[in-house]
Amino acid sequence: MFDQEKLEESMVVHAGASPMRVRQMRIESSGVISVLLERAAVASWTPGAHVDMHLGSTTVRQYPLCGDPEDKTSYRVAVLHQTTGRGGSRYVHEKLRPGDLVSVSQPRNNFELLPAQRYVFTAEVG
């Protein structure tokens, strides 16, 4: 467990966001790494929720949470390495490292799963 106050003093915190420490980065598949972000306590979330991550001084990118909603001290996101983008995913893959601090928003859910008798799962590769 770390000192959240010291963590907040040690970096610029963006409006509506607070700092999280990168605890682990794990290769999930070709070009995809997951990032485990931790702080003393995290807001609860439901499947479909995403956070805004401030990557460098001007870049903000959205990543859905894909960890365990019962984990009250960390969030996990998975990021594809997109070399032709404006730099958000390159920052994660090439600069971000375990121990670094990232400013992360509260989760919000624009894609909440509603109770239903059946669900249709679709996936896209591209």
Among 38, 42, 63, 76, binds ligand FAD (CB under 6 A): 63
Cα–Cα dist 61/73, whole Å: 21
Binding part of the chain for ligand FAD, among 2-10, 14-22, 38-46, 55-63 by CB under 6 A, reads 55-63
- Coil, helix or strand for 41? coil
The answer to whether the beta carbons of residues 37 and 79 sit under 8 Å apart is no
Q: Which residues are 63's β-sheet partners? A: 51
Among residues 63 and 75, whose Cβ is nearest to ligand FAD?
Answer: 63
Count CB neighbours of 105 within 10 A.
18
Distance separating alpha carbons of residues 2 and 51, to the nearest angstrom: 22
Q: How far apart are CA 21 and CA 40, in angstroms?
A: 10
Q: Which of residues 6-35 bind ligand FAD (CB under 6 A)?
A: none
Q: Is 62 in the site for ligand FAD (CB under 6 A)?
A: yes
Please, which of residues 75-104 interact with ligand FAD by CB under 6 A?
78-80, 82, 84-90
Residue type, 28: E
Map residues 34-53 to x or -, x wherever contact with ligand FAD holds by CB under 6 A: ----------------x---
CB of 104 to ligand FAD, least distance (A): 13
Interface with ligand FAD (CB under 6 A): 50, 61-64, 78-80, 82, 84-90
